[in-house]
């Protein structure tokens, strides 16, 4: 097959070389995991048993058809029984389990997707419609499978045990942030999606997985075929399909060089992050779930600067986490961090992080009932979360961070709700840290332009550059068609960040950056020059940023930073930022 190259938006560093695994959105609804060699035959039997059960189910349905039932009904059951007996359904998925070690549900869905795309190409409209019958049969089998105990736990396979399994890259039209999170324990080595922006939450989660990824690679899921060999250059956002032996060799070398560089970086784990001139910098971790505390500590984080608590809620509209469940999760993070601060951001649901992905979305969700706006409209839900966070504060140092504040009344109402949650705990004789600090995300331009309103009442600030850029430049961070306008170095953005840091310094309160800019080594010196002393990022980025800090001299950075902040010339700014990196 001829080689071709696709271009998209780089999301996560590094080179991945593997075989394409095409993922249709429906496939995400079933569990995906790999079966260890010794369990493969048992998994085959599990699927066979489910297929037999559905046969019986159809037989019973047929037998119990009322005498006066329309004849179409019987014919309909016959068609489903025929489909079920076809080797394409009764045999092919079993082969997939054997050859690829997929779990039964995944193997079945993979085969159905393959069949569906073949049906899409059929010209005869009647036959094309039969695709629906195949999907209905598959749904019956999936239902039975889901009721049967999986034989092997997810992630039962150590990717290193099986070279083939460790070589899969996921190609999808789009992956929701919640679904992306499900890939955390799997052995995929890279991601490519057709849509998405660099700082969409899907991209952020992909980055936290620390594997090469590219988004906004238009048509990737239609042009790339199942099992194609693919190189993802996560630094450049380039995807090379069916590469030549020469290209493959070049990328393998780059991959090895990157591995060596990482190994070298890992030596910095215990080194304090201090600039050449002796200024100590705090490096914090962004986490999505308590389990991320492990990698955070491993990378030498001084604490958690952003716990995106909404990941505990996403996809659970019908079964919201209770106060106890939330408390347990927050407590786990706090205990895991062993006395280091854990900044828990209250629920930032909405926009590209819907509570229920199937629900009717607002006209313009990024500007809609998101984050604190949502929480203030659902006081019981907010109070429940606040009580859970406060209870966890009895087990270590907790800070509460409120997202998307813009109005004075939102600050006042949030603080009042925190006081109310405390009062409820006191009444119930439940312990919490009375001095828990409360901070504001500065991520709406209005907030950055009205800082006195914030510094008067808040204990700390955290700049959410992802949204600050989205809202200042009026571009949807999820929309790849405007992704080229997403520019952290736009003079307006630099002014807003610099003003926020200065206001915090003046008021004597801590200011962090927890947006993706904090983990971008190209911007480390610029942020240091603006006076930033707290950076919060995904653990995977932490050591590279630390290295940059260790090599920085604040005295040398200051004049260039001043020049950048005075400039309104985009090229001049870009050049000066480049010069800063070598200063
Ligand atoms: C931000 O907006 O920069 C931020 C850190 O929050 P999120 O990416 O979750 O919106
Ligand atoms: Mg944000």
Q: CB neighbours of 239 closer than 8 A, spacing ≥ 6? A: 5, 6, 7, 8, 192, 214, 217, 220, 224, 230, 231, 232, 233
The answer to whether the CB of 443 is under 6 A from ligand 1 is yes
DSSP state, 191?
A: E
The C-alpha atoms of residue 217 and residue 195 are separated, in whole angstroms, by 6
- Mutation probe of ligand 1 site: the residue of 374, 441, 448, 463 with most atoms within 8 A of C-beta: 441
Atom of ligand 1 nearest to the CA of 443: 2
| Residue 519, ligand 1, Cβ within 6 A | no
Residue 65 has pLDDT above 80, yes or no: no
Fold of 276-580: TIM Barrel (3.20.20)
Q: Domain map of the chain by residue range?
A: 4-23+166-263, 35-155, 276-580
* Residue nearest atom 1 in ligand 1 by C-alpha distance: 464
Residue 470 CA, closest ligand 1 atom number: 2
Q: Return the half-sphere exposure (C-beta side, CA atoms, 13 A cut-off) of residue 65.
A: 17
Kindly give the distance from the C-alpha atom of residue 362 to the centroid of ligand 2, in angstroms, as a whole number: 18
Ligand 1: centre distance to CA 570 (Å): 24
Does 477 belong to an annotated binding site? yes
The pLDDT score that the predictor gives to residue 512 is: 98
Distance CA 517, CA 524 (A): 8
Which residues are close to ligand 2, an ion, with C-beta < 5 A? 443, 464, 467
Q: Which ligand 1 atom minimizes the distance to the CA of 306?
A: 5
Q: How confident is the model at residue 164 (pLDDT cuts 50, 70, 90)?
A: very low
Residues 6+ apart with CB under 8 A from 500: 442, 448, 451, 461, 463, 511
Tell me the C-alpha to C-alpha distance, in Å, between residue 439 and each of 284, 466, 537: 15, 17, 17
Q: Which ligand is in closest contact with the Cα of 468?
A: 1
- 308 CA distance to ligand 2 centroid (A)? 10
Q: Which atom of ligand 1 is nearest to the CA of 517?
A: 3
* Closest to 247 (Cα-Cα) out of 3, 522, 509, 576: 3
CATH number of this structure's domain 35-155, picked from the four choices 1.10.274.10, 3.40.309.10, 3.20.20.70, 1.10.760.10: 1.10.274.10
Strands 510-513 and 460-463: parallel
Average pLDDT of span 528-537: 98
CA of 185 to the centre of ligand 2 (A): 25
pLDDT cut 90: percent of the chain above it: 67
Residue closest via CA to ligand 1's atom 4 equals 464
Q: Which of 465, 467, 516, 537 should be mutated for ligand 1, with most atoms under 8 A from CB?
A: 467
CA of 563 to the centre of ligand 1 (A): 28
Q: How far is the CA of 464 from the centre of ligand 1 (A)?
A: 5
Q: Check the annotation: does 345 bind a ligand.
A: yes
In contact, 308 and 344? CB cutoff 8 Å: no
Give 387: exposed, middle or buried? Use CB within 10 Å, 0-12, 13-18, 19+. Answer: buried
pLDDT band for position 359 (cuts 50, 70, 90): low
pLDDT in tens, 139-161: 889 888 877 655 444 333 333 34
The answer to whether the annotation marks 399 as part of a ligand binding site is no
pLDDT for position 583: 79
CA 100 to each of CA 18, 106, 232, 345, 521: distance values in angstroms, whole numbers, following the listed order: 14, 10, 21, 40, 38
Q: What is the DSSP string of 240-289?
A: EES--HHHHHHHHHHHHHHHHHHHHHGGGTTS--B-TTS-B-EEEEEESS
- Mean of per-residue pLDDT scores for the chain: 90
Question: Rounded CA gap, 13 and 206, in Å?
Answer: 10
Instruction: Tell me if 403 sits within 8 A of 345, measured CB to CB.
Output: yes
**Is pLDDT at 407 greater than 80 in this prediction?**
yes
pLDDT of res. 528: 98
pLDDT of 575 above 70: yes
Buried b (16+ CB within 10 A) or exposed e, 542-552: bbbbbbbbeeb
- C-alpha 489 – ligand 2 centre gap (Å): 18
Bigger pLDDT: 161 vs 235: 235
Cβ proximity of 312 and 345 under 8 Å? no
Ligand 1 lined by 288 (C-beta under 6 Å): no
Average pLDDT over every residue of 476-505: 95
Say what the pLDDT of residue 165 is. Answer: 47
The string of pLDDT tens digits covering residues 295-351 is 999 999 999 999 999 999 987 888 899 999 999 999 999 999 999 999 999 999 988
The distance of Cα 45 from the centroid of its chain, to the nearest Å, equals 35
179 Cβ inside 6 Å of ligand 1: no
Q: If you write DSSP's letter for every residue of 61-130 in order, what string do you get?
A: HHHT--TTS-HHHHHHHHHHHHHHHSHHHHTHHHHHHHHH-B-HHHHHHHHHHHHHHHHHT-S-HHHHHH
SS3 sequence of 39-61 = HHHHHHHHHHHHHHHHHHHHHHH
* Atom number of ligand 1 nearest to Cα 286: 5
Give 170-187 as a DSSP string. EEES---HHHHHHGGGS-
Closest ligand (CA of 497): 1
Q: Is 158 annotated as a binding residue?
A: no
| 69 Cβ neighbours under 8 A, 6+ residues apart | none
293 among known catalytic residues = no
Nearest ligand for residue 513 CA: 1
Q: Could you report the per-residue pLDDT of 195-231, keeping only the tens digit for each?
A: 888 888 888 888 888 889 999 999 999 999 888 999 9
Active-site residue, from 201, 293, 375, 538: 201
Residue 84: left (phi > 0), alpha (psi -120 to 50), or beta? alpha
Give the ligand at the shortest distance from the Cα of 200: 1
Q: Is the CB of 198 under 6 A from ligand 1?
A: no
Least confident of 190-199, 387-396, 452-461: 190-199
Which pLDDT does position 157 carry in this prediction? 37
DSSP-based three-state secondary structure for 376: helix
Ligand 1 atom at minimum distance from 199 CA: 8
Rounded CA-CA distance 496/531 in Å is 13
pLDDT of residue 300: 96
Lowest mean pLDDT among 129-138, 163-172, 203-212: 163-172
* More confident position, 545 or 179: 545
Question: Looking at residue 335, what is its pLDDT?
Answer: 98
CB contact at 8 A, 482 and 476: yes
Number of helical H runs and strand E runs in the chain: 23, 16
User: Quick one: three-class SS letters along 311-371?
Assistant: HHCCCCCCCCCCHHHHHHHHHHHHHHCCCCCEEEECCCCECCECCCCCCCCCCCHHHCCCH
Would you identify the CATH topology of the domain 4-23+166-263? Glucose Oxidase; domain 1 (3.50.30)
- Give the Å distance between the CA of 576 and the centre of ligand 1: 26
Residue 514 annotated as catalytic: yes
Asked whether the predicted pLDDT for residue 509 surpasses 90, the reply is: yes
Q: Which residue has the tokens 């009205």?
A: 450
Residues 285 and 51 sit within 8 Å (Cβ to Cβ): no
Answer whether residue 25 shows pLDDT above 90: no
- β-pairing, 188-193 vs 168-172, is parallel
Q: Do domains 4-23+166-263 and 35-155 have the same CATH topology?
A: no
Ligand 1 atom nearest to 204, measured from its CA: 8
Among 196, 346, 443, residue to substitute to test ligand 1 (most atoms within 8 Å of Cβ) = 443
Pocket of ligand 1 contains residue 174 by CB under 6 Å: no
Q: How many residues are given for the chain?
A: 583
What is the rounded CA–CA span in Å between residue 224 and residue 229? 9
* DSSP state string for 218-245: TTHHHHS-TT-EEEEETTTTEEEES--H
Residue 352 beta carbon below 6 angstroms from any ligand 1 atom: no
> Is 86 within any annotated ligand binding site?
no
Q: Whose CA is nearest to atom 9 of ligand 1?
A: 308
């Amino acid at each position: 097959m001829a080689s071709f190259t696709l271009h998209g938006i780089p999301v996560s560093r590094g080179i991945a070389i593997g075989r394409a695994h095409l993922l249709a959105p429906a496939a995400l609804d079933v569990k995906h995991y790999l079966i260890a060699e010794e369990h493969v035959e048992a998994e085959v039997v599990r699927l066979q048993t489910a297929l037999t059960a559905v046969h019986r189910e159809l037989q019973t349905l047929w037998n119990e058809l009322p005498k006066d039932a329309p004849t179409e009904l019987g014919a309909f059951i016959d068609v489903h029984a025929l489909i079920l007996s076809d080797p394409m359904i009764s045999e092919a998925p079993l082969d997939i389990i054997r050859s690829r070690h997929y779990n039964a549900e995944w193997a079945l869905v993979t085969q159905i997707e393959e069949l569906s795309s073949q049906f899409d190409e059929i010209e005869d409209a009647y036959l094309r419609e039969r695709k629906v019958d195949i999907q209905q049969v598959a749904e019956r089998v999936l239902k039975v499978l889901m009721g049967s105990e999986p034989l092997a736990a997810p992630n039962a396979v150590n990717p290193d045990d099986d070279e083939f399994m460790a070589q899969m890259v996921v190609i999808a039209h789009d992956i929701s942030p919640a679904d992306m999170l499900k890939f955390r324990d799997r052995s995929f080595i890279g991601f490519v999606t057709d849509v998405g922006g660099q700082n969409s939450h899907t991209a952020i989660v992909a980055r936290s997985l620390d594997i090469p990824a590219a988004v906004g690679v238009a048509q990737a899921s239609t042009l790339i075929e199942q099992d194609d060999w693919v190189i993802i250059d996560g630094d450049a956002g380039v995807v090379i399909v069916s590469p030549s032996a020469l290209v493959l060799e070049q990328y393998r070398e780059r991959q090895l060089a990157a591995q060596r560089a990482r190994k070298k970086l890992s030596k910095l784990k215990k080194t304090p992050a201090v600039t050449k001139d002796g200024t100590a910098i705090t490096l914090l971790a962004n986490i999505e779930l308590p389990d991320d505390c492990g990698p955070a500590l491993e990378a030498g984080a001084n604490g958690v600067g952003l716990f995106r608590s909404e990941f505990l809620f996403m996809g659970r509209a019908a079964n919201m986490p209770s106060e106890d469940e939330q408390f347990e999760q927050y407590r786990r993070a706090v205990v895991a961090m062993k006395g280091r601060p854990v900044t828990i951001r209250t629920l930032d649901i909405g926009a590209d992080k819907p509570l229920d992905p199937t629900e009717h979305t607002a006209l313009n969700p990024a500007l809609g009932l998101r984050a604190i706006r949502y929480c203030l409209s659902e006081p019981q839900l907010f109070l429940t979360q606040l009580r859970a966070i406060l209870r966890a504060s009895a087990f270590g140092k907790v800070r509460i961070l409120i997202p998307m504040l813009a109005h004075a009344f939102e600050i006042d109402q949030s603080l009042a709700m925190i006081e109310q949650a405390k009062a409820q705990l006191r009444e119930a004789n439940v312990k919490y840290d009375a001095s828990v600090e409360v901070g504001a995300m500065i991520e709406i331009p209005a907030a950055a332009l009205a800082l006195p309103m914030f510094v008067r009442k808040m204990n700390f600030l955290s700049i959410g550059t992802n949204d600050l850029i989205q809202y200042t430049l009026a571009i949807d961070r999820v929309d790849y068609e405007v992704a080229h306008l997403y520019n952290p170095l736009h003079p307006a953005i630099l002014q807003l960040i610099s003003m926020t840091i200065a206001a915090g310094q003046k008021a004597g309160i801590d200011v962090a950056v927890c947006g993706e800019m904090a983990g971008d080594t190209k911007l480390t010196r610029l942020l240091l020059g603006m006076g930033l002393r707290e950076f919060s990022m995904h653990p995977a980025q932490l050591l590279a940023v630390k290295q940059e800090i260790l090599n920085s001299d604040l005295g040398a950075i200051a004049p260039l930073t001043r020049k950048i902040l005075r400039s309104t010339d985009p090229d001049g700014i870009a050049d000066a930022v480049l010069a800063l990196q070598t200063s």
